[in-house]
Structure 1
Amino acid sequence: MKILMVSMASQHFFKWVEQLEEAGNEVYWFDILDSKQKAARISWVNQIVGWKLRWDYPGRFYIKSKFPSLHSFIEQFNDRNTARIFEQKLIEIQPDLVHSFEMQISCLPILEVMEKHSAIKWAYSSWGSDMFYPEKIGISNFLMQKTLKRVDFLITDCFRDYKIAIEKGFNNIFSGVYPGNGGLEFKSELILPVSSRKTILIKGYNNKIGKGITIIKALTSEILFLIKDYEIVVFGADQEIKDYIKNNSRFVNVIIKVYLRSEFVENNELMKIMGQSYIYIGNSLSDGLPNSLIEAMGMGAFPIQSNPGNATAELIDDEQNGLLIQDALNQEHIEELLKKAILNPGRIEKAFSFNIISVKEKYDRESNRLKIVELYKSIGGNKN
């Protein structure tokens, strides 16, 4: 089958596509945001990059950073039309399937083209907040419904999003729930026993959706006393979190490492930290099933995680194998959950083996690779 993938350059996308190597398909990738360089890790894929600019003029990055208004003005004349270029490639390649990853970035810019070429099958993988938080990230209800009406195959990372899609008018083929990156590798040699774990791991994303700062504010003097023998590690943090910790005296004698988002932590290193973590905490207003949560649970960390739209409840049975944050903006609520976890080591011990086994059963990379290969075969054999 000839497949045209549409996505931005991202680790999740690359890991998904890698599952198709040697599966017998002819795979193309239209880099929808045009990172301008081919990805070596998927060198076997036909990559469409370097298409956006008419002229990559000298000093472009300097003008973009120092004179954004001028840069925006120049862009109007220098940027090629995404839909027009995509349509040219669509006609040239004549794929059996177009597969878009994420709605706002990879569906909406090509929606009119796909409506025009209605005979070509279109699959869409929802990521993160596509379904649950659309208008907050710039997807109108009208455009969502138009997209779902045209899409032939829907893939989600949680059942919540399938239910929302049905409510929004999707009535075509649901191809199933899969991890957004195609599956995860859990390295058992890095998984320490509960008694040897001395790290509290916090996901520090802090923006319109991620609310890592609420977790940090929940680390009161009482909580810090209870975890005084543990190292706190915050990854993917924004500057606001680093400044908050620096400017609050209660953190002075705390062993804490903060990795900014710009200080990218390699996945292997992060998995190693997860394998040493006693508790993992993530908090956001919207998400699907976060890959970092799945990784942390699979590596044995006890999870405390926000539950937007009950997506996380598909993986965590509250107060059994983890704790669910029901109010992502309430630091007192998160403080109580932290206290509940720390003061009940028996629950953490009990959840340890259960999480490792159950998460691996659902998200093991090799098992999911076989399922994904079969997924494309079933799509290929499905006639519109």
Structure 2
Amino acid sequence: MKILMVAIPNHHFFQWVNQLKNSGYEVFWFDVTDGGPKSDRINWVKQIKGWKLKWDFPFRSRIKKAFPSIYKFIQKYNENTVYDEFKSQMETIKPDIVHCFEMQLSGLPILSIMEQNNVPFMYSSWGSDVFYFEQLGVTNEDLKSFYNRVDYLITDCKRDYKIAVNNGFNSAFLGVFPGNGGLEVDVSKILPVSKRKIILIKGYDDGVGKASIIFKALESIPKAFFQNKEVVVYSADDTIKRQVEVSKQLSNLSIKIYSRYAFIENEKLLSFMGQSCIHIANSISDGMPNALLEAMAMGAFPIQSNPGQVTEEVVEHNKNGLLISNPNSPEEIAVHIQNAINNETLRKDAQNFNINYIQKYYNRATLQPEIQALYESVNAKSF
């Protein structure tokens, strides 16, 4: 069986694809953005890269930097389109299944080609692309056309399946699966509650991510709460770094920031989670956050926003975490942080519950045969 994957270069995509390693399937990846070199993380996959440029002319990078308007004009004639390249790949590979990950970036750019054939078309929703489609620039017409062509849907939460159906999707639903294909936990990196000294924060502050509200909350909390604690921020937008630098209260804390634009290995992030007393993430739109599941797996107490009520599918407020009801309220977040730090018993009970919960429902080894079987079932139905 030939499976043609369509996705941007992404850690969670690589993890999903690796669930098919040694399955016997012939897997291809069309990098819809053609960003960067081939990935060693999925070196067993036939990667379609380097397709965009017709001619990598001398001094191209210098011209791009020094004369952006001239470069943009040249590239109008020097770049292959997604339409032409993907159509060519479809004709060459003749896949049995096409599987795209995320609608706006991967699904819509290939939709017009997929409408010209009857190859089984799978779609995995990611993040906000179902819940927040209008704000992401997807029109109702595009959404309807896309759902009409998709044959099989996979979501990372129950909410998004219901939303898709309400917006016209009426084909087969393959189920709810984590976007990264499941979690593999190194239990040796999980510290007991008494030894956890990190307050870990996801630093997205891009309009959807609201990390800046978390830092406003930190400013209002007495410094005594952070005694012997270190604040670690990962995937931080530049606005967060500036917010910390100009704040007298924040600059007095021990804060380490990892930029959103500097790669941090997932193993290192999981290690941080295994040392964290709390993990805070705040946004106004999301699917089932992979970072939330990873934090739970590593025993970090989650304080998480709940856009569209998706987080409450795995977190019960005041039992195994705390839900942020208003992501724009630093006052609410400040109360949650103080309550979590003060209540070691709650964090200990939550740690035991969450580790067992993730092991039961999101274990990578358990999910692998189920994920491999998805493609077999789709292929069987196409005959």
Q: Which residue of structure 2 lines up, in the alignment, with residue 24 of structure 1?
A: 24
What is the Cα deviation at residue 129 of structure 1?
A: 0.7
* Conserved? CA contact 2:220–2:334, under 8 Å: no
* 1:181-210 C-alpha deviation (Å, 9 max, x unpaired): 111111100101111111111111111211
The aligned counterpart of 2:173 is 174
Secondary structure of the structure 2 residue equivalent to 1:116: coil
The 5 Å alignment of 1:220-369 reads: 220-369=219-368
Q: How many corresponding residue pairs?
A: 383
The reply to whether residue 140 of structure 1 matches residue 139 of structure 2 is yes
Q: Deviations over 1:11-46 (max 9, x none)?
A: 111111111111011111111111253222222222
How big is each residue's C-alpha offset from its partner over 1:326-375, in whole Å with a ceiling of 9 and x where there is no partner? 21121112112212222322211211100000012111111111111111
Give me the whole-angstrom Cα distance separating, in 2, the residues matched to 1:228 and 1:66: 48
Q: Partners of 1:219 and 1:275 in 2: how far apart?
A: 22
Aligned to 2:115: 115
Equivalent in the alignment of 1:374: 373
CA contact (8 A) 1:202 1:234 kept: yes
Structure 1 equivalent of residue 151 of structure 2: 152
| Aligned match of 1:14 | 14
Aligned partner of 1:202 in structure 2 is 201
In the TM superposition, what whole-angstrom CA distance separates every residue of 1:196-237 from its partner, at most 9, and x where no partner exists? 111111111111211111101110343432222211111111
Deviation per residue, 1:96-118 (Å, 9 max, x gap) = 1000011111111111110111x
Query: Match of 1:43?
Result: 43
Distance 1:363 1:107 in 2: 26
Give the Cα–Cα distance (whole angstroms) in 2 for the partners of residues 176 and 302 of structure 1: 27
Q: Deviations over 1:61-120 (max 9, x none)?
A: 333334333332222111112112111111121111000011111111111110111x21
Cα distance between partner residues in 2 of 1:153 and 1:340: 43
Deviates more, 1:37-46 or 1:135-144: 37-46
Hey, what does 1:213 align to over in structure 2? 212
Aligned counterparts of 1:49 and 1:208: Cα–Cα separation in 2: 31
Report the AA paired with residue 183 of structure 2.
L
- Greater CA deviation, 52-61 or 233-242? 52-61
**Following TM superposition, where does structure 1 have runs of at least 4 consecutive aligned residues deviating by more than 4 angstroms?**
none
Which amino acid is 1:67 matched to? F
Q: Secondary structure at the match of 2:122?
A: strand
Displacement after TM superposition at 1:147 (Å): 0.4
**Aligned equivalent of 2:58:** 58
Once the two structures are aligned, what percentage of the paired residues are identical? 48
Give the TM-score taking structure 1 as reference length.
0.96
Separation (CA, whole Å) in 2 of partners of 1:65 and 1:214: 35
Q: Secondary structure at the match of 1:218?
A: helix
Structure 2 gaps of 5+ residues are none
Q: Where do 5+ consecutive residues of structure 1 fail to align?
A: none
Task: State the match for 1:70 in structure 2.
Answer: 70
User: Are the structure 2 counterparts of residues 86 and 61 from structure 1 closer, same or farther at C-alpha, using a change threshold of 3 Å?
Assistant: same
Residues in 1 aligned to 2:10 and 2:36: alpha-carbon distance in whole angstroms: 13
CA deviation string 1:131-172 (max 9, x = no partner)? 011122221121111101110000111111101100111011
Question: Partners of 2:47 and 2:137 in 1: how far apart?
Answer: 28
Q: Is the 8 A contact 1:157 1:178 kept in 2?
A: yes
- TM-score, length basis structure 2: 0.96
Is the Cα–Cα contact under 8 Å of residues 6 and 32 in structure 2 kept in the other structure? yes
**Pair 1:136–1:24, CA change in 2 (3 A):** same
Indicate if the aligned counterparts of 1:223 and 1:339 stay in contact, CA closer than 8 A.
Answer: no
